[in-house]
Chain A
Amino acid sequence: MLRFLVGRAVLLVPTFVGLTLLTFVLVRLIPGDPIETMAGERGIDPARHAELLHQYGFDKPLLVQYGIYIGRVLHGDLGLSIVTQKPVLHEFMALFPATVELSVAAVIFAVVLGLTAGIIAAVWRNSIFDHGVMTLSLTGYSMPIFWWGLLLILLFANVVNWAPVSGQVAIQYYVEPVTGFLMIDSLLANDTAAFRSTLAHLVLPMIVLGTQPLAIIARMTRSAMLEVLGEDYIRTARAKGMSPLRVVGLHALRNALIPVVTVIGLQIGVLFTGAMLTETIFSWPGVGKWLVEAIGRRDYPVLQGGVLILGSIVMAVNLAVDLTYGLVNPRIRHAR
């Protein structure tokens, strides 16, 4: 068991090194050297240019530079944003809670609806409901989510007025940041009006971000359930006279959940991709919007740092999913 854990964790090292190499190379592949990039369109006088090159160590051999970069990254120093002159890590930490809030809401939305729809579709195989779920799942899977967001804005801003279409909380509320999570903070401050406002603002982005995972989870759940429902022990359970609800809920679901949980865990990359588009459309103040804006402003340290952190998070979550899968299913553990 320990060997499995350690083996898996060790595999991360080369991937992480590769990731740092990628972000390191990123800034150097952009035409012009990093100082020119930082100076931007204003330009910079040659003497100051040379001085800065030396100060930042850009005149050292590439390998040495990479060593310095790794050392700084491991100390949590991701450089300064060109635009705000604030540490990239600080900016990331300030915005990340908003993205987490949105992502968690989207995952809950996707899991609750996806599991339910998938189970019912499998139990009532080939019914109208089943066909409906599969069609909707295909639609959700093929949906350009930036368009889906615009459609909802079109609907909710023009036709019905149930939910706000932009931002994280109405402008009149100010919540003292304690944890950084607006929802938790508004509850801590006992400000129910602000809390309700954050909830309302969450609805549309949650639906948009959750759509693709929802489609995938519904599809996975259905096919896993169908497989399990065909097993002998299900027939035995039915033959014993167990109620259908018990058979499906207790015996089938538990075994069908194993592959589904893995799929849910692996959605994190999809979520981050979606968050960049969703946050941009709904002006949600998270890291996705921050990164998209960084490209527009040519803020390369932000892009570099953001890619590194998000990549690391995806790696860590994938590892965690892998490990849990190994724990739940001993066959995986012994096969490798």
Chain B
Amino acid sequence: MTAHSSVETADAAPHPLRAFWHSFSASNGALAGLGVVCSIALLAVFADVVAPHSPYATDSQAFLRPPFWEEGGSLVYPLGTDAIGRDMLSRLLHGARLSLLIGVVVVAISLAAGVLLGLVCGFLRGAVETVVMRVMDILLTLPSLLLAIVIVAILGPGMMNAILAVTVVVLPHYVRITRAAVIAELSKDYVVASRVNGAGTLRLMFSAVLPNCAAPLIVQASLGISTAILDAAALGFLGLGAQAPLPEWGTMLADSREFVMRAWWVVTLPGLMILATVMAFNLLGDGLRDALDPKLKRQ
């Protein structure tokens, strides 16, 4: 941060970032969401340091050990162990890594591809636009999980393929948002001025129009992470996502289904992590929406 210049007067417009933070921090929900997201991200990054055990190490002396506050539990395995004696806490922490990775990768790919397709549609219009938007309509028509399942059925189960499947499922939203924003921006004077100045199409696309379409995209990206985590976990639960030894939360739930009657912790804890993470990203997304895009503000 540089020092404020002395010419700045009291009625000068605040820096956009400061204005953004002012309206973002007005919402308790948004702050809570940001806090939870940051904590989970930190835990994920430092999972190796924080986790007491390896997520894959099994202990044949401690199958389905309950958490420490229950009878028979111990602080060696603070949140208990699963059916083959792996430490739940360590698996949950390493699972945070996978889930956040899935969320971020899905959103990064679909955002990049969606923005590109949306820009092309918005600038070229005509046949290209019709074809692309029709394809997006078809993708939107199918129930999201069904479409993801179809894609995984073609590619085969696995975490990378699940990521790819969820990416395709969420792609249409980014294409639609970008295209609509581009079309709205293109009719504005600054674009015309830029064009008259001799700016080429690429320059217009990325340097003039795109920054002005950023707000709805940022909001969608934040909400999109929660969708991605939820869908990937559902795929994992159906046995189509991340495969068995990986500590992905949905996969862990699928593995623990048969112990639902005997060991509540192997079923409850991974779901609780999914719920908390998804909720935090939803709160964060809502907060970003209210701060960045007053037009979309929910009442």
Contact = CB atoms under 8 A, between A and B. Distances in A.
Chain A contact surface mostly:
helix
Contacts of B153: 26, 30, 295, 300, 303
A314 B73 CA distance: 49
Interface stretch (B43-51, B105-113, B141-149, B196-204): B141-149
B299 A223 contact: yes
Nearest to A14: B134
A138 B142 contact: no
A295 B235 CA distance: 12
A280 B254 CA distance: 11
A324 B257 CA distance: 43
Interface residues of B, number: 42
B30 interface: no
B138 interface: yes
Given A29-B154, A273-B144, A307-B142, A18 B135 contact: yes
B85 interface: no
B275 A143 contact: yes
B78 to A, nearest CB: 21
A142 B282 contact: yes
A113 interface: no
Contacts of A273: 143-146
B146 A144 contact: no
Interface string B147-165: 0011011100000000000
A261 interface: no
A30 B275 contact: no
Contact of A142 (B238, B257, B279): B279
B181 interface: no
A22 interface: yes
Contacts of B142: 19, 22, 269, 307, 310-311, 314
B299 A227 contact: yes
A158 interface: yes
Contacts of B278: 142, 144
Interface residues on A, range: 35 or more
Contacts of A318: 141
B206 to A, nearest CB: 30
Interface in A189-242: 222-223, 226-227
Contacts of B267: 147, 150-151, 154
Contact of B233 (A144, A296, A315): A144
Interface of A: 14-15, 18-19, 22, 26, 29-30, 138-139, 141-144, 146-148, 150-151, 153-154, 157-158, 222-223, 226-227, 269-270, 272-273, 276-277, 280, 291-292, 295-296, 300, 303, 307, 310-311, 314-315, 318
8 contacts: A18-B134, A146-B233, A147-B270, A273-B146, A276-B145, A295-B238, A300-B153, A315-B141
Ranked nearest first, the 8 interchain pairs of A and B with the lowest CB-CB distance are A147-B271, A18-B138, A273-B145, A142-B279, A142-B278, A272-B143, A273-B143, A269-B143
Interface of B: 29, 134-135, 137-138, 141-146, 149-150, 152-154, 226, 230, 233-234, 237-240, 250, 253, 257, 260-261, 264, 267-268, 270-271, 274-275, 278-279, 282-283, 298-299
